[in-house]
A = this chain, B = another copy of it.
Amino acid sequence: MYRTENCGELTEAHVGKSVKLAGWVQKRRDLGGVIFIDLRDRSGLVQIVVNTETAPDAFIIADTVRSEYVISVSGHVVKRDPQSVNEKMSTGTIELLVEEMAIINKAKTPPFAIKDQVDTADDVRLKYRYLDLRRPEMVETLKMRHRITQKIRKYLDEKGFLDIETPILTKSTPEGARDYLVPSRVHPGEFYALPQSPQLFKQLLMVSGMEKYYQIARCFRDEDLRADRQPEFTQVDIEMSFFEQEPFMSMMEQLMVELVDEVKGVKVTSPFLRMTHREAMARYGSDKPDIRFDMELKDLSDIVKDSSFKVFQQAVLGGGQVKAINVKGQAEAYSRKAIDELAVFVSTYGAKGLAWLKVDEGGFKGPISKFFDESTAEKMAAQTQAENGDLLLFVADKAKIVADSLGALRVKLAKDLGLIDESVLSFLWITEFPLLSYDEEAGRYVAEHHPFTMPMMEDIEKLESKPGEVRAQAYDLVLNGYELGGGSQRIYQRDIQELMFKTLGFTKERATEQFGFLLDAFEYGTPPHGGIALGLDRLVMILSGRSNLRDTIAFPKTASASCLLTNAPSEVSPDQLKELSLEIDKPKITK
């Protein structure tokens, strides 16, 4: 037997006991005749002591071990002298007096130190992922990921949801993101697609009467990756029949309440705040607002539309808005230069400028203050709750640009100014999403969530006349400014689904070819159903306090969708291509 105990679990209760340990050498110090080793396993660290007097054979071995060697030791647990106690270590009041030691496997010097907060380049971390994962914060993150999924599974099991696997080799339905394709050998020229979500299958499970389904499902999108995207990601997929939105949201809230209590010991209260999409956009300029701080967007359009400031006037006249955020008490802190930098920031969201006013005893100060008469200025101050020392920042533009730029600026300023209490978990539902949005490039409406989302019944008559005004029976769960996931009541009637496809510009033929099996299924006794899909990677990221999705995934890919550890993707043999009836149709581009 390699070991009787885990390193990090030894306590003073073990003092006097004979134990065996196995693990990795974290650190080794030779104090002349006595060698101290910090021994590490998954559970943590413990100090082991090898004395040349009492354990001469073990000492000879200990003399040769180096960092990351795998060793096994046996000996007695003893209490440390008071002056040797290490309070930073959970096992810091004890140590193991080694009697025997064996080297299980040697190690080369790792390319970076196995500890947190290392300043190692990302690509080195990814190439040596098996060493990167030895760092305590990586171990803790994967442990938390395990606890999170375990809790979710337990909760859903208790609520009667069945864990049902849906296929990974599915059919390509090029609506939405780009599919990863898998050539078929048996059917030359044909392809499977990896699922972007189990959407169609979970709906078919509802048609099949499974009633309550969940799956922690791998999903795939062949998109150009940003820092917080991965080509494969994991979704907590939940769907139920005889669905009603409010009880379903309550059940999800209860899951979140129990989950964050269990994995973080944080108490949150339910029901969570609910806010319509319209309100969220108006107040926070975002459909996933971080409500851990205020600094809301204030609409000044009506107040300033008659002012002499042309920029504001014209924005409102052109159907746009003038909005401001009040950066409380920061008038002094932001110089013109600092504000210019904020203007550059908002310009990335399309804002043509960032107007500003500072408030002091005498009223508004700043280059545009002259454009507002006393009455207007008073109204502006009232609307923004401006007080002495405040900084007001304005964007005047189309509604979308105002929302995007001030929404992002609000978050940036809160971070810069330390306004966010990182210990708080602030859940929020966003409801009444628009069903459709107009895609200028495609010249047609596209589904805001997906084409299977049920319109709000009172809006359904507008589907053909004013598609942009139709609201969806859809909701997003937001946590600390991140979209944790979204869901909806689904369409379960063939006629409404056909109308939806038509609204999205599908011909009848294309709707039948791509989704005919679903339309057919709806005719065989389909119950009302709905559900939600939560991004597991993001949930783990937020709850574990990491800043990158990659850190929540054991073997992630780079922004160019490569695995630096295994070197995937890679070239394959001509035989493999031939079997798949494929040819590469352009010369390989040098990377």
Residues of chain A touching chain B, judged by Cβ–Cβ distance below 8 Å, are 1-3, 22, 24-25, 40-42, 68-70, 104-108, 110, 128-134, 139, 142-143, 145-146, 149-150, 153, 157, 162-172, 174, 178-194, 200-201, 204-205, 207-212, 218, 220, 222, 231-232, 234, 242, 244, 247, 492-493, 517, 521-528, 553-555, 557, 560-563, 565-573, 576, 578-586, 588-589, 591
Contact = CB atoms under 8 A, between A and B. Distances in A.
B167 A555 contact: yes
Contacts of A164: 142, 145-146, 554
23 contacts: A25-B525, A70-B525, A106-B523, A107-B524, A130-B521, A133-B208, A133-B210, A146-B164, A153-B153, A165-B234, A165-B554, A168-B194, A168-B232, A169-B561, A178-B185, A181-B182, A183-B582, A184-B569, A188-B588, A191-B569, A192-B568, A193-B572, A218-B218
A571 B131 contact: no
B188 A589 contact: yes
Nearest to A211: B42
Nearest to A586: B581
Contacts of A581: 584-586
Contact of A586 (B188, B210, B586): B188
B570 A171 contact: yes
Contacts of A553: 165
Given A527-B70, A568-B170, A209 B133 contact: yes
A216 to B, nearest CB: 9
A1 B24 CA distance: 58
A187 B590 CA distance: 9
Contacts of A570: 171-172, 190-191
Contacts of A132: 208
Given A181-B580, A523-B108, A186 B153 contact: no
A524 B105 CA distance: 9
Given A576-B172, A581-B586, A525 B189 contact: no
Contacts of A40: 209
A265 to B, nearest CB: 19
Nearest to A209: B134
Contacts of A582: 183, 582-585
A461 B560 CA distance: 45
A557 B170 CA distance: 10
Given A170-B563, A190-B571, A571-B190, A131 B523 contact: no
Given A70-B526, A186-B560, A208-B129, A142 B162 contact: yes
Contacts of A193: 568, 572
Given A105-B493, A234-B165, A517 B142 contact: no
Contacts of A589: 188
A347 to B, nearest CB: 29
A129 B166 CA distance: 13
B182 A194 contact: yes
A566 B517 contact: yes
A242 B568 contact: no
Nearest to A516: B567
Contacts of A104: 527-528
